[in-house]
Structure 1
Amino acid sequence: MKSTTIRYLFLLLFTLGVVCPIIAQTPDNTFVNGDLLPNSPELSVRGTYGVGVRTLTVVHKDQVDVLHQKDGKHPLYDRSLTLEVWYPARLPADKPAVVTYESVFGIANNPNRPLVPFTFTGRASRDAEPDITSGAYPLVIVSHGYLGSRLLMTYLTENLASKGYVVVAIDHMESTYRDAAGFPSTLLNRAFDDLFVLNEMARLSAKGSKSFLSGLLNADNTALIGYSMGGYGALNATGAGFSPQAVKTFGQLAQGSTALEVRSMDSPAYKASLDPRIKAVVAFAPWGMERGMWDAKGLAGLTLPTLFVAGSKDDISGYEKGIKAIYDGAVNADRYMLTYLNARHNVAPNPPPASLIPGVSPDEYMHYAEPAWNERRLNNINQHFVTAFLGIHLKKMDYAKYLNLPETDAAGPWTGFKPRMSVGMEMRHAKP
C-alpha cells in the first residue's frame, strides 16, 4: 500500500474518531481493564486524580446465621467483610500507577470448578497517600453478584476514583468464589452488608478516627452500585421492600426461616432502616423480579434516582419480566434504563482474563463473557453513563444531556458518542 494511501486512511479514521487515544501503558506494555477503546464515549475517559487503593476488613457482629438452625432458631455469628477501597491519591509524577490484583477462578467446595488463583493489572497505587486537597469526596459502595468478588468491576471503580469519588467494593461473606455457601445467606444479607459498610465508612472517615479515610469521604453523599444479586440488595436497601411471596420463597429455601421478613415492605422496621445518606442507585442486571421478590407495592417504595443497565436477552435476571418490569414498576423514582440489545447477563464485569490458565473450565470464561458484545466496549460505555448519572446526583454537575437521549440513535449519534458508535442500545427515562 502506498504511503499516501496509508496517510489518507489514517486521516479518515481520525476524522471518524476511530484512532485510539494515547494511553500510558503498564511496564509490560499491555492495556488493562478500563482503558479506552478508539470508539469510547466522551465521559469514559479517566479523571484528573491519581488513584490509590487499599484493602480493609470490617466485622459485622451478631448477625443471623440463616444457614444454620438449632431447635428451630438461628444462632448469631460475625460477618467478616473484606473491602477494597479506591480513592483520589497523591502520586509521584515519575512512578506509574500500577497494581496487581489477586483473584481466583472457580467455586469453593466445587470439585468440578476448583479454585485456581490468577492475577491481573490495574491502574492504581497500593497504599498511596490520599489527596485531601479537594475536601471530602462522595462515597460509592459497590456490590458484586453471586458468585463474585470485590474485584469484579475494577474498570469502573478505578475510573470513578480518578474522578473524585471514594469507591468501596465489598466481598460479601458466603457469596464470593472463595467462600461460596448457601443461597439464603445472599438473599438475606446483601442489604444488611451495604448499610453496615455505609456506617463503617462514616465511622472511619470521622475526624480523629486514625484511619486513612479520616476526612476523605462524605458518607452523607453516597451512591450504591450493584450487579445481579448486588443490584437486588441495592434496590432493597433503598426502598424496594420485598413481597410476601419473597418471604415465602425464602422460607422454602431456608428450612422455614422467617428472617427475610424484616426486609419486606410489610415490616414495620423496614422503612425505618432506609438511610437518607444514600442519594442514588445504579443497578446492573438486578436479579429477583422473575422470582416474585417484588410486587407493585414494593417497587413503588423505590424513590431514589436510579440507573438500570440491562441486556435485552438476560437469561439470569430476565428482561421483559425481570429488569424492565422493575424499571416499569418503580413509578415513584426518577429512573433511566440503558439496554444493550442482544446482550445477556454479563453487562457489568471486567472482561474475561486475557488468558485462561490451562485446564481451567470454560465456565470460568463464560462467567465474564458476553456473546454479542465486546466486553471492553461495554466497560467504556458503563464508565460514560455511570459518570454522567453520579455526576448529576452526587456532584451536581450539568450532565443531563448525556442521559436525556432519544430511545435510539435513529436520528443521529447520542450526545457524547462518536459518529456511528451509539448503535445497538436503547435508553429509556421515566419520572414519577
Structure 2
Amino acid sequence: MLRRVFVIVVLLVGLLPFAPGADAQRPDAPRYGERGPYPVGTQEVTVPQPGRELQATIWYPALNPANEDQQVEYRYGLLLLDGKALRDAAPDAANGPYPLIVFSHGSGGFRLQSVYLMEHLASYGFVVISAEHPGNTLADSLLGHDEVSGIVENYAYRPFDVLAEIDYMAGAESPLPGVVDAQNVAVMGHSFGGHTALAAAGAQMDFGALQNWCADPTYSTVAPSSPEPDAMRPRQRVAVKELVCFLQGRDAEIASLRGLDGTPDGLWPPTTDPRIKAVVALAPWNAPILGAAGLAKVTIPSMIMVGSADSTTYPPRDAYTAFTDVSSAEKHLVVFENAEHLLFANACTPMMERSYFDSCSDAVWDMDRAHDLIDHMAAAFLLATFYDDADAAAALQPDAVDFTGVVYLTGEAG
C-alpha cells in the first residue's frame, strides 16, 4: 500500500545504528559547515502537555572547563547513537540567552534522526529541542500502530506540539532557565516535520485546495533537475498523487481532534506563534494540503532544502511549490541534485554499510559532504537571521553558494 511506503522508508533508516556527521566532518567543509565555537551540552527532558506528553532531547551551548572530549551516547530503546556533545553539561549562561530552534522529525521517525544537525546548530549559539510526536514515531511503527491513523492524528496535533515545546523552554519548568531567548524562535523539520515547521510558521491547511490539486495536479519547475511526471513509470506517477491525496475526506476527523466546531471552509485557523521568526523546511511534505493561499501566510524568513530525486516528497509537488508560494520577503531554496529523501537523516556506521547501504546512504551523494553543506546553509541562514551576522549573510549570496551539485535560488514574494 502506497501510504504505508511513506512511513516504512523512514522506518528502515530508524532501525540502524548511526554515526552523526559531526564526527565525520570532511576537511573541505565550507565555513559554516565547520563546527562552531561553543561546546555542546545535551539533556533528555519531558515536555508536559495534557494528554500528550512529549519525550524530547535538547542541545545547547555548554561549559567545558576541563576541556573534555565531547563524546556522548544517545539511546532510543535498543538503538544507540554516538554523538559529539557533553551529557548534562552546565549551560554557558554568561553568553546567552540564545535563540531557540524547534525540530520536528519525519513520519515514522524519531527525535534523534538528525543528531549531526542538532549538535551543529547548538555549537553556533542556539538552543535546540527535538521531541517525539506521539502516534507517528519509529516506536509506534515498531509496535504495529496504524500509520494512517497516526498521520491523520498528527495533522491535528503536530503544530501544537511545537508551540508546547516553545512554552516549555520559555516557562518556569524550563531545564535551562534564563538561557533561552524564547522571543526568537526558528522552526525546522524534515518531511512531515517540514510540513509541521511550515504550519507552525504560519501556513494554513486548506482541504479545498487539496481536493482541487488531486483532481488536476500541478507542479512547480523552479529547479528542473527533478524528473517530470510524464517521464515517470506509471507506479511512480500514482505514488506522487496518492501519497498526498489519501488525506481527502479526513478533514472532519482532523477538525474534531482539534476541537473545532465543524470543518473549516477554506483556510483553517492558524497554528503559529509570533515568537517564531524563521523556518527551515527539509524535504517538506504535502504542499497541496496547504495550497497557494495557505502557504502565502508564511511571511517570515524561510529556507527550504530538498533532493531533486526525492521520491517520497516529490519536489515539484512539495518543496518547489512551497518556495514559490510562501510570501517571505527573504526565502532560499537549496536543491541537492539527484539526491533522495533520506539525505537529511543521520548516516550509518561503516559496519552497517555492507548490509544496509541503500537504507542509510544516498545513491549519488556522499553523506558527509551533504551534511557539511546542510550544516553550512542552515547555520549561515540562522546566524544571519538571529544574530545579524554579516559574514553569514554574505555566505548566502548566490555567488557564494558555488557547490557542485547544488542548485540555489533566492527570491521575494511574488
Asked whether the 8 Å contact 2:192–2:284 carries over to 1, the reply is: yes
Asked whether the 8 Å contact 2:104–2:189 carries over to 1, the reply is: yes
**Structure 1 equivalent of residue 206 of structure 2:** 243
Q: How does 1:341-352 map to 2 (within 5 A)?
A: 341-352=337-348
Q: Aligned partners of 1:54 and 1:285: how far apart in 2?
A: 27
Give the aligned residue type for 1:395.
Y
Tell me the TM-score normalized by structure 1: 0.75
**Structure 2 equivalent of residue 305 of structure 1:** 301
Residues 257 and 56 of structure 1, relative CA distance in 2, 3 Å threshold:
closer
Match for 2:398 among 381, 401, 405? 405
Asked whether the 8 Å contact 2:303–2:333 carries over to 1, the reply is: yes
Residues 348 and 333 of structure 1, relative CA distance in 2, 3 Å threshold:
farther
User: Secondary structure of 2:48's partner?
Assistant: strand
Q: Structure 1 segments of 4 or more deviating over 6 A?
A: none
Asked whether the 8 Å contact 2:108–2:140 carries over to 1, the reply is: no
**Structure 1 equivalent of residue 181 of structure 2:** 218
Tell me the TM-score normalized by structure 2: 0.78
Count of residues in correspondence between the two structures: 350
2:63 corresponds to 1:90: yes
2:398 corresponds to 1:429: no
- Superposition deviation, residue 401 in structure 1: 1.7
Higher strand proportion: 1
Q: Aligned partners of 2:360 and 2:131: how far apart in 1?
A: 18
Asked whether the 8 Å contact 1:247–1:258 carries over to 2, the reply is: no
Residues 166 and 335 of structure 1, relative CA distance in 2, 3 Å threshold:
same
**Structure 1 equivalent of residue 197 of structure 2:** 234
Q: Aligned partners of 1:393 and 1:94: how far apart in 2?
A: 30
Asked whether the 8 Å contact 2:104–2:131 carries over to 1, the reply is: yes
Q: How does 1:8-407 map to 2 (within 5 A)?
A: 33-35=21-23, 36-61=25-50, 78-103=51-76, 117-180=78-141, 181=145, 182-204=150-172, 209=173, 211-245=174-208, 250=247, 252-253=249-250, 256=253, 258-259=255-256, 266=266, 270-271=269-270, 273-289=271-287, 292-356=288-352, 362=356, 366-398=358-390, 399-406=392-399
- Superposition deviation, residue 135 in structure 1: 2.5
Q: Aligned partners of 2:195 and 2:56: how far apart in 1?
A: 19
Asked whether the 8 Å contact 1:242–1:265 carries over to 2, the reply is: no
- Superposition deviation, residue 405 in structure 1: 0.7
Q: Aligned partners of 2:181 and 2:274: how far apart in 1?
A: 13
Unaligned runs of 5+ residues in structure 1 are: 1-29, 62-77, 105-116, 407-413
Give the aligned residue type for 1:194.
V
When the two chains are superposed, the root-mean-square deviation of aligned CA atoms in Å is 2.6
Unaligned runs of 5+ residues in structure 2 are: 1-17, 212-245
Q: Aligned partners of 1:402 and 1:312: how far apart in 2?
A: 22
- Superposition deviation, residue 369 in structure 1: 2.3
Greater gyration radius: 1
Give the aligned residue type for 1:44.
G
